[in-house]
Structure 1
Amino acid sequence: MMRVLTAVAVAVAMVVGMSPAVESARAQGFPTRPVTMVVPLGPGGSTDVIARVVAEGMRAALGQPVIVENTTGAGGTVGVGRVARAAPDGYTIGIGHSGTNVVNGAIYPLSYDLMADFEPIGLISTQPFLIVARKSMAADTLADLVAWIKANAGKVSEGTSGVGTPSHISGVLLQNTLGVTWTMVPYRGAGQSMQDLIAGNLDIQLDTPATSLPHIRSGLIKVYAVTAKERLAVAPDIPTTDEAGLPGFYYTFWHGLWAPKGTPKEVVAKLSGALRTALADPATKQKLVELSQVIFPADQQTPEALRAYQKAEIDKWWPIVKAAGIKVE
């Protein structure tokens, strides 16, 4: 009789779901297996590189591996959608940025809500872009490059990580600043577009230091300026846009971590704590600094801070993107 009652109890539990007490107990034991971090863009770009640095830092804090998986397509919407549909147990999380988790909502017909369908884990870092060009570009200064672009209006090509990604949005802002339009060529990630720039199949690119600096140092591409008010600590020889002749042209973008909606608060708290521990680790911090990342202060690495920051970014960028007429082609 006892075995029958036990079987019935198990069956009922499977039908009605775990009780809050049981779910809480399971959450407190989290994680008992590896966690998957979804990167919504291709390998080789800054999002991928940052993800791998952060994943390694979180591994020690969680006591389990954090496995990075690239799920690409449609400017990051495929990968973000994978996270939205994942089981809300903390074992699938996603890294995203101001393109995938802000701007895409103004461009793509998403099957998920960027604010309502995710549990924020925390902000990671922010970074500027570098204005770069193919090695064979005749222009040696930013002023020369601007003159070349204006003289070749309609013939210029720029690689991006996809429609609505930061590289695309910054390119649109540059077009608006110069009063010239050119061809934007979308890729699945910065790594792929960079390879075509190196091959000479593209003319220019706005890309992250993490992606660009190794190729700049190898002499494979040209660099003209950093889109920030201050020079990069890891590349102090690169002038700012103010110094190079394009005053006031600034662009930076940020990264954060999210879990699926409904992930238990205790699990989100553990993931957020692991992120903060990783970002405070000297080795992890150094790796991010070498990638020209500016790590958010500890009090901005919380789920609450990410939610507020993301909402403010949506309020800021959606009107700009819609006014610019940026659409999926």
Structure 2
Amino acid sequence: MKRRAFAGGLALAGLSGGVLAQATAYPGARPIRLLVGFTPGGAADYVARVISEPLGKALGQGIVVENRPGAGASIATDMVAKAAPDGYTVLLASPGSILVNPALNPKLPYTLRDLAPVAKVTSSPLVVAAHPGSGINSIQDLIAKAKKSPGTVNCATAGNGSAPHLGAALFSQVAGVQMTLIPFKGGAPAIQSVVSGDTQVTFGTPPSVLPMIQAGRLKGLAVSARDNSDMFPGLPGMAQAGLPDYAIDFWYGLFVPAGTPAPVIRKIYEAAAAAMQQPGVKVALAREGTAIDLSKSPDQFASFLEQDAKFWVKLVKDAGVKLD
């Protein structure tokens, strides 16, 4: 994977005077669409709605959040990839649709070259939780149950290729267990399936899982980071839970169609940086177990993506995860 796969929107060469004038006037009087590839109530939706207002204020234009779930967020990603490269259609995405899906599914209607990175904005671990009546009260309980009856533990995920899906796959690999991974069209319906007892356990995003743990409707087992964190009181890290060789986190970032003028990308990046500096944003994200993790520039985000892709693609191949 080469950096030019992400660089299409960053070059100024060849821009006409009209396009440059349009970039200078951006964002003008049109609202900006922020597409999310998952259903309302999940981590992606939460992050988008927390940052949309301060991002819009920094740009001087309204941000409209649109949920377009399906196909592991590939539907939303494809919509942005095929949108006009004018800065009015922005994608909030995680590693699944950006790095994993196009690398392993050649039938997708978009490739990495169809998108330009703007900024990584957040990162967080997953939260492992179980139905209170499942008899699974710790990570060691989960491992023991899965080893005793391989394939009988049903684990709900936010969809094939999503971070929760891959987090569960890595857990199975490291712990030497077999679970049945059940994909849903987003974090919220996946968590609801565990709450209702249709599935027994989940590797979910913090905004999806924490409220249910706090309400006593789910039993929190651990966070997927190696060590515990003040953001997750009462939940051990994997080292404290007895599985120190396991650790995984995920991020969300902003992308625009390839070919978007560099000045427009820079304006969106600077607005994102201003939004993430707002104290209220940090508090709101931390409340749901998400940390601000802003890239230093669009170029730095592109370099990060090159390296991060190696981890996710290797994980999918090693774990034998199927994305289609």
Q: TM-score, normalised by structure 2?
A: 0.91
1:140, distance to aligned residue in structure 2 (A): 2.2
* 2:146 matched residue in structure 1: 149
* 2:317 matched residue in structure 1: 322
The answer to whether 1:217 aligns with 2:214 is: yes
Question: Structure 2 matches for 1:124-139, cutoff 5 A?
Answer: 124-139=121-136
1:280 to 273, 277, 282: 277
1:309 to 295, 304, 311: 304
For 2:232 and 2:84, how far apart are their aligned partners in 1?
42
For 1:67 and 1:231, how far apart are their aligned partners in 2?
35
Q: TM-score, normalised by structure 1?
A: 0.90
* 2:3 matched residue in structure 1: none
RMSD: 1.6
1:183 to 170, 177, 180: 180
2:111 to 110, 113, 135: 113
SS state at 2:145 partner: helix
* 2:197 matched residue in structure 1: 200
For 2:238 and 2:311, how far apart are their aligned partners in 1?
23
What runs of 5+ residues in structure 1 fail to find an aligned partner? 1-18
2:17 to 21, 24, 31: 21
1:189, distance to aligned residue in structure 2 (A): 0.4
Q: Structure 1 pair 178/230, CA: closer, same or farther in 2 (3 Å)?
A: closer
One-letter amino acid of the counterpart of residue 50, structure 1: V
**Equivalent pair of 1:106/1:321 in contact (CA under 8 Å):** no
1:212, distance to aligned residue in structure 2 (A): 0.8
* 2:27 matched residue in structure 1: 31
For 1:326 and 1:153, how far apart are their aligned partners in 2?
17
For 1:301 and 1:275, how far apart are their aligned partners in 2?
11
1:228, distance to aligned residue in structure 2 (A): 1.2
* 1:11 matched residue in structure 2: none
Q: Which digits, 9 at most, give the CA deviation of each residue in 1:135-188, with x for residues without a partner? A: 212132222222122222121111111111111111111111222222111111
SS state at 2:119 partner: strand
Q: Structure 1 pair 96/235, CA: closer, same or farther in 2 (3 Å)?
A: same
Instruction: List structure 1 runs of 4+ shifted beyond 4 angstroms.
Output: none
One-letter amino acid of the counterpart of residue 113, structure 1: T
One-letter amino acid of the counterpart of residue 51, structure 2: V
Q: Which digits, 9 at most, give the CA deviation of each residue in 1:246-287, with x for residues without a partner? A: 222111011100000111111111111110000111111221
One-letter amino acid of the counterpart of residue 228, structure 1: A
1:72, distance to aligned residue in structure 2 (A): 1.3
- Number of positions where the alignment pairs a residue of Structure 1 with one of Structure 2: 309
**Equivalent pair of 2:151/2:179 in contact (CA under 8 Å):** yes
**Equivalent pair of 1:62/1:274 in contact (CA under 8 Å):** yes
1:317, distance to aligned residue in structure 2 (A): 2.4
Larger radius of gyration: 1
Q: Alignment identity in percent?
A: 33
**Equivalent pair of 1:107/1:164 in contact (CA under 8 Å):** no
For 1:52 and 1:177, how far apart are their aligned partners in 2?
35
